Amino acid sequence: MDEYLEQLYQEIILDHSKRPRHERELDPCTGRAEGYNPLCGDKVTVFVREEEGKIAEASFLGEGCAISRASASIMTTLLAGLTAEQAHAKAREIYEMLTKAEEPRIDLAENGEIAALAGVRKFPARIKCATLAWHALEDALHGTEAP
Amino acid sequence: MPAESLGPLHSLPIRRKRAATGLRRTYPYKLNAADIRRDFPILDRRVHGKPLVYLDNGATSQKPRVVIDAIRNFLENGCANIHRGVHLLSAEATQAYDRARATVCQTMGASRPEEFIFVRGTTEAINLVARSWGDLHIQAGDEILLTEMEHHANIVPWQFLARRAGAKIRVLPITPDGALDLDALPALLTDKTRLLACTHVSNVLGTVNPVSEICRMARERGIVTLVDGAQAVPHGPVDLGAVGCDFYVFSGHKMFGPDGIGVLYGRGKLLDRLPPWQVGGDMVERVSFEESTFRPPPDRFEAGTPNISGAIGLGAAFTYHAGLDWAVLRAHEDALVAAAHEALQSIPGLRIQGTVPGKAPVVSFTMGGIHPHDIGTILDSEGVAIRAGNHCAQPLLARLGIPSSARASFACYNTFEEVETLAKAVWKAHRYFG
């Protein structure tokens, strides 16, 4: 495979897109939200279940490209045990990694597979694919904040 | 549109070099594609180190040297505002602007240049008609008939009009292969129908609609017709007399012209009675603080300084376009579609949307579980530019039961070699994600 494409479609991404983790509806859940990209018609629904102020479980359902599915799948593996605040901070890290002009300084040990998404920043048209599930996650968490 | 449509070409024998992608064809007509390609400087570009294979012509076409030169010549040697200067440059600019309008008029088989209004593009043209004609004529309870294959630009302005007026949108459905269901048409042309708005060529399916017949049926019932020609004008001259519509709209940039300029054709008798939709300078006769009177068409609909360089570029594009041998080029485009269908159909899981005979060179497809955006990125890595998404036709894609598709759209300068590169690149996507 060529180097150019490998920046985008790393093994981890292809693996998650072909065999996504936590691709199911979560019932019961404490929050759910839909992300929609009108440019491509992609839809993702993110489910979260919070227990005692922490995310116990997260899942997703949706239609989308390899990048959006992999991003959603990897995201659901990272959330267990985080508070809503920590999850928002994680989302902001991802947006920064994808949109900042400088090379991202992402810690592989700390962030694991999500660092594989860093290559997306070289494909401007695909950044929204990578952020779709994260925006939905933030909405799902906001949903639970309301009394 | 394919008046001289060349059905037999679809069944020409194809000699295969290798299975599935190895297409090699001899041209069954006298055409040296290199001659046309030489007119388009960008076609020499390389993308990711590979020769550009530009198959996104449905989004915008590339521009021939004569169009680029016409715009540059105006800006370098003739730039002035029109209609308002006593100096030589202004007189020349006015002449050039009017000449562009006359060229469009003449090429489309009409005789009154004042029936051709310069606008920004198809979208603005439809908005103009919906505002000016629509607000004057559409009332509560009236019906506006659209078709299931319309671009958003030919849906949303009518939706807004219907909401303003309390009118109703009705929709002519399509058949499974992607043609308009004409059997359903008579029942939809009711005594409440005031307007029928229909695309000439589908930007997703490539279907060439029998607009002459549709417009005739509507006219017999006194229904006003608007035809969206955005995807039709690039593929050969359109004779407005043959179409027989009341309004015809299109953009310049899809037919070798610059972006930001397009045309609204309106039947003189209709235009004369319409109020302006944008008001200001250059379209008025007398102005006081209490009242203003307006000039006749086309000026009435061209408020402010228009896109002069764009109109001049469009005139050059029309002259270039009309000078091509369209009997040959239509045969070539038909053969490109046939070759693309043949090459793509053998790829596992690939489904082509729109298979109506005589279609324009637009090939939309889905491929199993592989998302069109991923197909688009893999193709781009091979230098092949296509469009992936909903093509501004969400209702049509909903009808087809797909969220999005990949679309290769051809122009007369594309070649069989490029069809082969396309097919190889789609095979690559298949291997990558399959």
Domain co-membership, B315 together with B336: no
Residue B397 has pLDDT above 80, yes or no: yes
Percent of residues, chain B, with pLDDT higher than 90 = 89
CB atoms near residue B13 (< 10 Å):
6
Spatial separation of the C-alpha atoms in residues B120 and B309, rounded to whole Å: 12
Q: Where are the alpha helices (DSSP H) in chain A?
A: 3-8, 11-18, 66-78, 84-99, 108-111, 127-145
Q: Do B373 and A67 touch (CB under 8 A)?
A: yes
The reply to whether B1 falls in a domain is no
Q: Do A65 and B371 touch (CB under 8 A)?
A: yes
Spatial separation of the C-alpha atoms in residues B3 and B9, rounded to whole Å: 15
> Comparing C-alpha atoms, which of B204, B406, B57, B380 is closest to residue A124?
B380
> Domain containing A68: what range?
3-142
Side chain identity, residue B240: L
Percent of residues, chain B, with pLDDT higher than 70 = 93
Q: Look at B14 and B243; give whichever has higher pLDDT.
A: B243
> What pLDDT shows up at residue B26?
56
The reply to whether A97 falls in a domain is yes
Band of the pLDDT at A102, cuts 50, 70, 90? Answer: confident
Residues of chain A with C-beta less than 8 angstroms from the C-beta of B381: 2, 4-5
> What pLDDT shows up at residue B311?
98
The reply to whether B226 falls in a domain is yes
Q: Do B48 and A5 touch (CB under 8 A)?
A: no
Answer for the pair B348, B389: CB distance below 8 angstroms, yes or no: no
What are the φ/ψ torsions at residue A75 (nearest 5 degrees)?
Answer: -55, -45
Domain co-membership, B54 together with B140: no
> What pLDDT shows up at residue B32?
76
> What pLDDT shows up at residue B20?
39
Domain co-membership, B133 together with B213: yes
What is each CA distance from A6 to A101, A111, A121, B35, B360, in whole angstroms?
A: 20, 20, 13, 38, 36
Q: Decide: helix, strand or coil at residue B94.
A: helix
Which of B50, B370, B377, B387 should we substitute to test contact with A (largest number of A Cβ atoms within 10 Å)? Answer: B377
Domain co-membership, B245 together with B116: yes
Residue B309 has pLDDT above 90, yes or no: yes
pLDDT average, residue stretch B94-108? 98
User: Kind of pairing, strands B387-389 and B405-409?
Assistant: antiparallel
pLDDT average, residue stretch B407-419? 97
Domain co-membership, B185 together with B279: yes
Spatial separation of the C-alpha atoms in residues B245 and B225, rounded to whole Å: 5
Average pLDDT, chain B: 93
The DSSP code for B414 is -
CATH number at residue B174: 3.40.640.10
Condensed to tens digits (0 to 9), the pLDDT of residues B357-377 reads 999 999 999 999 899 999 999
Q: Look at B3 and B386; give whichever has higher pLDDT.
A: B386
Domain co-membership, B81 together with B37: no
The reply to whether B184 falls in a domain is yes
CATH number at residue B20: 3.90.1150.10
Spatial separation of the C-alpha atoms in residues B296 and B34, rounded to whole Å: 46
Q: Decide: helix, strand or coil at residue B336.
A: helix
Residues with Cβ within 8 Å of A8's Cβ and at least 6 positions away in sequence, in order, are A67, A119, A120, A122, A123, A126, B377
Choice among A102-111, B122-131, B255-264 with the minimum mean pLDDT: A102-111
> What pLDDT shows up at residue B15?
34
Domain co-membership, B232 together with B108: yes
| Domain finish residue from B322, B351, B372 | B322
Band of the pLDDT at B434, cuts 50, 70, 90? Answer: confident
Condensed to tens digits (0 to 9), the pLDDT of residues A4-21 reads 898 899 889 999 999 999
Spatial separation of the C-alpha atoms in residues B303 and B15, rounded to whole Å: 57
Domain count, chain B: 2
Crossing angle (nearest 10°) for helices B156-165 and B122-129: 20
Distance to chain A for B405, nearest Cα, Å:
9
pLDDT average, residue stretch B154-173? 98
Spatial separation of the C-alpha atoms in residues B325 and B332, rounded to whole Å: 11
> Comparing C-alpha atoms, which of A40, A80, A19, A52 is closest to residue B390?
A40
Closest residue in A to B405 (Cα–Cα): A40
The reply to whether B2 falls in a domain is no
Beta strands in A16-53 (DSSP E): 31-37, 42-51
Which of A2, A9, A63, A65 should we substitute to test contact with B (largest number of B Cβ atoms within 10 Å)? Answer: A65
Condensed to tens digits (0 to 9), the pLDDT of residues A29-43 reads 999 999 998 877 789
> What pLDDT shows up at residue A110?
63
Domain co-membership, B317 together with B373: no
Q: Do A40 and B372 touch (CB under 8 A)?
A: yes
Q: Is the peptide bond before B237 cis (omega within 30 degrees of 0)?
A: no
User: Kind of pairing, strands B116-119 and B193-199?
Assistant: unpaired
Q: How far is CA B102 from the centre of its chain?
A: 20
Q: Tell me which residues of B are annotated as active site.
A: 392
Domain co-membership, B302 together with B317: yes
Crossing angle (nearest 10°) for helices B416-433 and A11-18: 80
Residues of chain B with C-beta less than 8 angstroms from the C-beta of A18: 433
Q: Which two tokens stand for residue B218?
A: 């509507």
Nearest-5° Cα angle at B184, B180 to B189: 105
Distance to chain A for B368, nearest Cα, Å:
12
Residues with Cβ within 8 Å of A78's Cβ and at least 6 positions away in sequence, in order, are A90, A111, A112, A114
The reply to whether A147 falls in a domain is no
Residues of chain B with C-beta less than 8 angstroms from the C-beta of A1: 432
Condensed to tens digits (0 to 9), the pLDDT of residues B21-79 reads 444 455 666 777 788 999 999 999 999 999 999 999 999 999 999 999 999 999 999 99
Closest residue in A to B370 (Cα–Cα): A65
> What pLDDT shows up at residue B16?
33
Band of the pLDDT at B338, cuts 50, 70, 90? Answer: very high
The reply to whether A64 falls in a domain is yes
Nearest-5° Cα angle at A34, A29 to A38: 170
The reply to whether A93 falls in a domain is yes
Which of B404, B405, B428, B430 should we substitute to test contact with A (largest number of A Cβ atoms within 10 Å)? Answer: B404
Q: Do B403 and A43 touch (CB under 8 A)?
A: yes
Of residues A2, A41, A66, nearest to B403 (C-beta): A41
- Complex ipTM: 0.89
Answer for the pair B80, B96: CB distance below 8 angstroms, yes or no: no
Domain count, chain A: 1
Of residues A4, A63, A66, nearest to B381 (C-beta): A4
> Domain containing B11: what range?
7-62+325-433
Residues of chain B with C-beta less than 8 angstroms from the C-beta of A125: 373
Domain co-membership, B273 together with B335: no
pLDDT average, residue stretch B345-366? 97
Domain co-membership, B183 together with B153: yes
Q: Do A41 and B389 touch (CB under 8 A)?
A: yes
Q: Which two tokens stand for residue B410?
A: 């051809």
Answer for the pair B311, B258: CB distance below 8 angstroms, yes or no: no
Spatial separation of the C-alpha atoms in residues A133 and A139, rounded to whole Å: 10
Q: Where are the alpha helices (DSSP H) in B201-254?
A: 211-220, 240-243
Q: Where are the alpha helices (DSSP H) in B189-307?
A: 211-220, 240-243, 268-273
Domain co-membership, B81 together with B48: no
Percent of residues, chain A, with pLDDT higher than 70 = 89
| Domain finish residue from B268, B287, B322 | B322
Q: Where are the alpha helices (DSSP H) in B198-284?
A: 211-220, 240-243, 268-273
The reply to whether A60 falls in a domain is yes
| Domain finish residue from B264, B298, B322 | B322
Side chain identity, residue B71: I
A–B CB contacts, 8 A cutoff, strictly below: 50
What are the φ/ψ torsions at residue B160 (nearest 5 degrees)?
Answer: -65, -45
The reply to whether A45 falls in a domain is yes
CATH number at residue A16: 3.90.1010.10
Q: Do A66 and B397 touch (CB under 8 A)?
A: no
